[in-house]
Amino acid sequence: MAKLRLALAQHDFSVGAVAANAARVGDLIAQARTGGAALVAFPELTLSGYPPEDLLLRPSFLAACDSQLAALAAATHGIAALVGHPHSEGEVFNAASLLRDGRVECTAHKQALPNYGVFDDKRYFRPGHESVTTVIDGVTVGLLICEDVWQPEPMAQAAAAGAELVVVVNASPWDEAKQAERAAVLQARARETGCAIAYLNLVGGQDEVVYDGASMLVNGDGSIAARAPAFVDALLWAEFDPATRTLSAENWPLAADSSIEATLYAALVRGTRDYIDKNGFDGVLLGLSGGIDSALTLALAVDALGAQRVTAVMMPTRYTSQLSLDGARAQAEQLGVDYHVISIEATYESFVDALTPAFAGKGADTTEENLQSRIRGVMLMALSNKHRRLLLATGNKSEMAVGYATLYGDMCGAYAPLKDVYKTVVYRLARWRNTAGMTSPSAVESREEPQFRDTALLRIPKSRSPIPEEVIDRPPSAELRDNQTDQDSLPPYDELDAILARFIEGEQSQADIVAQGFDADTVRRVVRLVLLNEFKRRQSAPGPRVTTRAFGRERRYPITSGWR
């Protein structure tokens, strides 16, 4: 029996951009047909983008998706195309339709609707009730959608209907554990059924969620035939041999660095770039303090957008050290960004003078510290408005967890690249970026296919470090009072992050954490701070979700709660 040639469109399809998404689908169908593919597959909800959220409640949006699907079907000849879309027929389904010979030949409805973590499928969709199969070039192919493959029943149904190959289209977000989990699930389904699996995943950033692609081919015996790199747009070619139920990749790009630091950094870069570009901003600006968080954020911004689209602003006061001034300037000059120094000392003094009568009888405390931060926030927002550059907040997950951040101050910003990155991981990423990261974090070996090359190769000379070593090595400090360090107010970050990860990602009780050797008073204090500061996090900027339990879309705790 002849082999089945297929193409997997590991591409980005933006939420709400129905016409543009359809145009890209049409272009990729043409490429796949020219390349001899019998089948080209597209990710989950390609036409609407994923997740479309309450756009699905608008009849006009659903009608636009239906219209574009019909137009694509009418133009599809000489190839079969599997396209994800919302399907409205009284009720709304998460669907994937096979287009062939000028018509919609069949439609699969997603059966397993996830309603955990970042997923809200049950809010919008009704479940399908059967697995769909079709015959392409003599091969029986099962059609499944994302969560369907995480449950055994849908794939078992497809196998019972004669499927030899199952194509699974996905919008599966990245986190630090997800790629290993996916591989284990796919291998289990293949071994259970004997079916080979072509697993296609969406790529790109959408608000707080980042999709990594990392598509896979799994043979019928459960062995992995190929893995695509993360965060790279590519049309991936493959062949299926029905005699052996094996798949083979054709010139798939290879990741230059597949370490967790490289992949995490690429996730942050992709999330930042897509947020800025999809929302139509000319560039970004940020406050550059001479500290590690703003330094890493600046490097990420330059890697995502290029130096010409990034502005950094140092806003010193009497408490700003020479080390901070020198470190910020050195990094800005090294990266070639637009750089400004705007002292806020006079503004701070004027605020204090104006408030002194109302503060009579009260000594200086965190009020004066927060005032400095809020002045900086006002300055940065003014620059953002004037220059149409979106403001990046530079705080990390450790700070956001315990409230070590100032509302309307350093929390100002429309996007926070490090929002889901613990402080200890910030240090790891900074060191990685200065050493192993001397090429693009999502760089690939192109295998002579120029379309695979990353479109945002780093513009930093390979012989130089983008983050000054003295910034990495210094003790972290907010520099809002004399001789201040973070550890005046917080436990050491190694200890703090270990407790936070157990309480937040692990959902462990205080007693369980103490039983693992942590000081009981410290655990109680950290947990108390986490619970007290939910109100701050509700007002924080969105940022890319990269852990298994991100604040905001995923971890949803009440602000007002008597539970301790």
Catalytic residues: 44, 110, 146
Give 420's Cβ-side CA count (13 Å radius): 28
Q: Is the dihedral of CA 300, 301, 305, 311 positive or negative?
A: negative
- Of 79, 134, 140, 136, the residue nearest 107 (C-alpha): 134
d(CA 7, CA 235): 6
What's 22's DSSP letter? H
Residue with tokens 């990423």: 429
**Cβ atoms of 210 and 173 closer than 8 Å:** yes
Secondary structure, 3-state, 307-356: HHHEEEEECCCCCCCHHHHHHHHHHHHHHCCEEEECCCHHHHHHHHHHHC
- Other residues' Cβ atoms within 10 Å of the Cβ of residue 497: 20
d(CA 147, CA 335): 42
SS3 content of the chain, % helix, strand, coil (to 5): 40, 20, 40
The tokens describing 292, both together, are: 């590690």
CA geometry: angle at 550 spanning 43 and 423, to 5°? Answer: 120
d(CA 464, CA 469): 11
| 64-89 exposure pattern, b = at least 16 Cβ within 10 A, e = fewer | bbbebbeebbeebeebbbbbbbbbbe
d(CA 57, CA 36): 39
**Cβ atoms of 447 and 254 closer than 8 Å:** yes
| 372-403 exposure pattern, b = at least 16 Cβ within 10 A, e = fewer | bbbbbbebbbebbeeeebbbbbbbbbbbbbbb
d(CA 499, CA 30): 53
- Of 256, 239, 235, the residue nearest 248 (C-alpha): 239
d(CA 191, CA 168): 16
Instruction: Read off the amino acid at residue 27.
Output: D
Which of helix, strand or coil describes residue 518? Answer: coil
Q: Which helix (H) or strand (E) holds 32?
A: helix 18-34
d(CA 393, CA 197): 41
User: Cα-flanking dihedrals φ and ψ of residue 338, to 5°?
Assistant: -65, 125
Q: Is the dihedral of CA 522, 527, 532, 538 positive or negative?
A: positive
